[in-house]
Chains A and B, each alone.
Chain A
Amino acid sequence: KNEVEQSPQNLTAQEGEFITINCSYSVGISALHWLQQHPGGGIVSLFMLSSGKKKHGRLIATINIQEKHSSLHITASHPRDSAVYICAAGRNEKLTFGTGTRLTIIP
């Protein structure tokens, strides 16, 4: 069993839909990271959180430390949100990555 599990692996939705991507981890963490990877490879950090909830524009990340679970939500999804979203468990400077969720938003 991987230390970081994401679901779903693939998600296709219509523009405007509310999106939820889930991440479960089995290791102790200092922070949980959400990353975005567009076609072509570049990876951008979206959130780093160790408790509660963070919001940036239409993106919201939550974490439940007791349940070792985090969610990434996208409100009013748009085709430009199409990307791979990666969850990573951070233990100090090192990250252990999930295999990613490929999100496709159809206009």
Chain B
Amino acid sequence: DVKVTQSSRYLVKRTGEKVFLECVQDMDHENMFWYRQDPGLGLRLIYFSYDVKMKEKGDIPEGYSVSREKKERFSLILESASTNQTSMYLCASTSYAGSSYNEQFFGPGTRLTVL
């Protein structure tokens, strides 16, 4: 069974803390994504990576950074957490099929609360 796993299901942090969210996929996918999901706004892309050490900003990158040192692992970093970063964070991965991209596989999500 193909899998995308995330390091935590629930996380509570204090304002100003540095927060690491980790995502691992076992499908050898080139592309990995970090989204946040908020009520009424749907999923929004924070960052994505199309190869090891490669990254691109998504629609809402402010306040976040990412790291991809190995193909299977994509980390999201909140340098100094703020209350407006309280959200559900979802990781996903996909592969390129020659002429198009395949479906995205999602992790279970991390519900982050910043107090």
**CB closest chain-B residue, reference A46:** B103
Q: How far is the CB of B25 from chain A (nearest CB, A)?
A: 14
Task: Report whether B41 and A45 are in contact in the complex, using a CB–CB cutoff of 8 Å.
Answer: no
Task: Report whether A43 and B106 are in contact in the complex, using a CB–CB cutoff of 8 Å.
Answer: yes
Given A41-B88, A41-B90, A99-B41, A33:B109 Cβ within 8 A: no
25 A–B pairs (Cβ distance < 8 Å), ordered by A: A30-B100, A31-B101, A33-B104, A40-B108, A41-B108, A41-B111, A42-B106, A43-B106, A43-B109, A45-B106, A86-B42, A86-B43, A88-B43, A93-B48, A93-B50, A94-B58, A95-B43, A95-B45, A95-B104, A97-B42, A97-B44, A99-B40, A99-B41, A99-B42, A100-B42
Task: Report whether A41 and B42 are in contact in the complex, using a CB–CB cutoff of 8 Å.
Answer: no
Q: Confirm or deny: A92 has a beta carbon within 8 angstroms of a beta carbon on chain B.
A: yes
The docked-state distance in angstroms from the alpha carbon of A92 to that of B102 is 9
Q: Which 9 A-B pairs have the closest CB atoms?
A: A41-B109, A45-B103, A43-B106, A99-B42, A97-B43, A97-B42, A93-B101, A48-B103, A93-B31
Using a CB–CB cutoff of 8 Å, the interface residues on chain A facing chain B are: 30-31, 33, 35, 40-45, 48, 50, 86, 88, 90, 92-95, 97-100
Specify which chain A residues have a CB less than 8 angstroms from the CB of B92 in the assembled complex: 43
Task: Report whether B106 and A44 are in contact in the complex, using a CB–CB cutoff of 8 Å.
Answer: yes
**CB closest chain-B residue, reference A9:** B40
Specify which chain A residues have a CB less than 8 angstroms from the CB of B108 in the assembled complex: 40-42
